[in-house]
């Protein structure tokens, strides 16, 4: 099969005759239909991945065969999800076939296109992990804690999924974005959007609109100004700022009543791995995996979160596997705003 493989740092190449991976007893083999791109794809290629790994995380496709112990899926089922591409030879979505654990593939709701389904990958699970697992919001129809939630980077893939989830929970959301993204961000669920380009004006507007500050927040972009605004946006009692980006030096000391909690989505895979070459391995975190498996059950099919949550806006790009290097480069250069780059593979 064809697959986009990391040969060495900064060098990916399409291999024309990679072996089709064989599913273990708890795995499924998926014929890939569409893939969506994430910043972690180029980050794995440039610095986080392992040579000989197949790149790519987000996918949709059709189950080709199932292992003996995989009782919930059958050949022909349409599925989507996320795998930890860029680390292991047989775990990348930028290929004609992939294998994943049967419990990690989500059945696509009827009527959803494969292109839309492919967007429910890294961004979707990161958003859900922030809202439900890190911030402790409850699954509907439970009552939620009162108060505003800040999405710093509302037009990012993660931010749009967070907003779509918060809307379903009835939580008031304020987001930061460029003015070009204001309408999009509102349409996904933000009650108010603030321009991030002037940090003092942004902070003042957030305080005014929320009547004193937010009780929770997610930082999706990084940088000193974003952390400054996010931390100072909290009510005087403080709260938890969840982040998925690098924490600038000194951010933790800005306000001691605002705690900063960081996570990396791939701990949900349930194994220990080396995040960056030379750094200590991240330990397996069993409770993250347990949350993930439970959330997949709540997501799939016609009555789960996949059918009630808006997919990211899709830009279907030309070139199947051959076009992906260009797409990764657009993301690497910050040239993608408010949408997912998606490629049709089959």
State the minimum distance, in angstroms, from the CB of residue 340 to ligand NAP.
Answer: 7
What is d(CA 208, CA 201) in angstroms, rounded to the nearest whole number? 11
Is 158 a binding residue for ligand NAP by CB under 6 A? The answer is yes
Alpha-carbon dihedral 145, 147, 151, 155, rounded to 10 degrees: 100
Q: Residue 14 — φ and ψ, nearest 5°? A: -80, 120
Tokens of 100: 């994943």
Nearer to ligand NAP, 22 or 180 (CB): 180
Tokens of 208: 């005014």
Is 147 a binding residue for ligand NAP by CB under 6 A? The answer is no
What is d(CA 128, CA 279) in angstroms, rounded to the nearest whole number? 27
Nearer to ligand NAP, 14 or 330 (CB): 330
DSSP-derived pairing of the beta strands 173-177 and 192-195: parallel
State the minimum distance, in angstroms, from the CB of residue 293 to ligand NAP.
Answer: 17
Q: Which residue has the tokens 């993660």?
A: 158
Is 220 a binding residue for ligand NAP by CB under 6 A? The answer is yes
Is 226 a binding residue for ligand NAP by CB under 6 A? The answer is yes
Long-range contacts of 274-278 (CB under 8 A, 24+ apart): 275/48, 276/47, 276/48, 277/47, 277/48
Is 176 a binding residue for ligand NAP by CB under 6 A? The answer is yes
Nearer to ligand NAP, 5 or 177 (CB): 177
Nearer to ligand NAP, 230 or 258 (CB): 230
Alpha-carbon dihedral 320, 325, 327, 328, rounded to 10 degrees: 130
Tokens of 341: 């780059």
Segment lying near ligand NAP (by CB under 6 A), choices 26-34, 83-91, 152-160, 271-279 = 152-160
State the minimum distance, in angstroms, from the CB of residue 123 to ligand NAP.
Answer: 5
Give the contact letters, 105-134, x = binds to ligand NAP (CB under 6 A), - = no.
-----------------xx--x--------
Binding to ligand NAP (CB under 6 A) within 15-44 occurs at 38-40
Q: Is 250 left (phi over 0), alpha (psi -120 to 50) or beta?
A: left
What is d(CA 51, CA 65) in angstroms, rounded to the nearest whole number? 28
Is 309 a binding residue for ligand NAP by CB under 6 A? The answer is no
Is 233 a binding residue for ligand NAP by CB under 6 A? The answer is no
State the minimum distance, in angstroms, from the CB of residue 295 to ligand NAP.
Answer: 15
What is d(CA 255, CA 247) in angstroms, rounded to the nearest whole number? 14
Percent of the chain that is helix, strand, coil (3-state, to 5): 35, 25, 45
Which of 244, 328, 341, 342 binds ligand NAP (CB under 6 A)? It is 244
State the minimum distance, in angstroms, from the CB of residue 343 to ligand NAP.
Answer: 16
Nearer to ligand NAP, 21 or 39 (CB): 39
Q: Residue 173 — φ and ψ, nearest 5°? A: -125, 135
Binding to ligand NAP (CB under 6 A) within 42-101 occurs at none
State the minimum distance, in angstroms, from the CB of residue 266 to ligand NAP.
Answer: 7
* Residues within the interface to ligand NAP (CB under 6 A): 38-40, 122-123, 126, 153, 155-158, 176-178, 181, 196, 220-221, 223, 226, 244-245, 264-265, 331, 336-338
């Amino acid at each position: 099969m064809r697959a986009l493989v990391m040969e060495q740092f900064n060098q990916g190449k399409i291999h024309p005759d990679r072996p089709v991976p064989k599913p273990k007893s708890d795995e499924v083999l998926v014929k890939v239909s569409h893939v969506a791109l994430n910043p972690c794809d180029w980050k794995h290629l440039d610095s986080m991945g392992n040579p000989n790994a197949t790149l790519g995380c987000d996918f949709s496709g059709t189950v080709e065969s199932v292992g003996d112990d995989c009782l919930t899926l059958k050949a022909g089922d349409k599925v989507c999800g996320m795998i930890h591409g860029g680390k292991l030879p047989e775990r990348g979505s930028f290929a004609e076939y992939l294998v994943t654990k049967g419990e990690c593939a989500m059945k696509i709701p009827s009527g959803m296109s494969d292109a839309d389904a492919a967007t429910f990958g890294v961004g979707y699970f990161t958003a859900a992990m922030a809202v439900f697992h890190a911030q402790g919001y409850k699954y509907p129809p439970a009552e939620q804690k009162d108060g505003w939630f800040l999405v710093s980077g509302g037009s990012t893939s993660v931010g749009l999924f967070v907003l779509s989830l918060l809307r379903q929970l009835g939580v008031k959301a304020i987001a930061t974005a460029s003015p070009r993204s204001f309408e999009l961000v509102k349409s996904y669920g933000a009650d108010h959007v603030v321009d991030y380009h002037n940090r003092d004006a942004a902070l003042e507007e957030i305080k005014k609109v929320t009547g004193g500050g937010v009780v929770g927040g997610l930082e999706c972009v990084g940088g000193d100004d974003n952390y400054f605004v996010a931390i100072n946006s909290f009510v005087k009692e403080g709260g938890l700022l969840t982040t998925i980006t690098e924490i600038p030096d000194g951010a933790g000391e800005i306000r001691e009543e605002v705690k900063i909690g960081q996570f990396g989505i791939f701990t949900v895979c349930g194994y220990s791995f080396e995040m960056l070459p030379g750094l200590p391995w991240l330990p397996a975190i069993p409770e993250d995996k347990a949350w993930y498996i439970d959330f997949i059950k709540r997501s799939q099919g016609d009555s789960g979160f996949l059918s009630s949550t808006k997919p990211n806006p899709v830009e279907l790009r030309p070139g199947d596997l051959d076009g992906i290097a260009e797409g990764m480069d657009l993301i690497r250069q910050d040239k993608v705003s408010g949408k997912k780059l998606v490629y049709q593979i089959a």
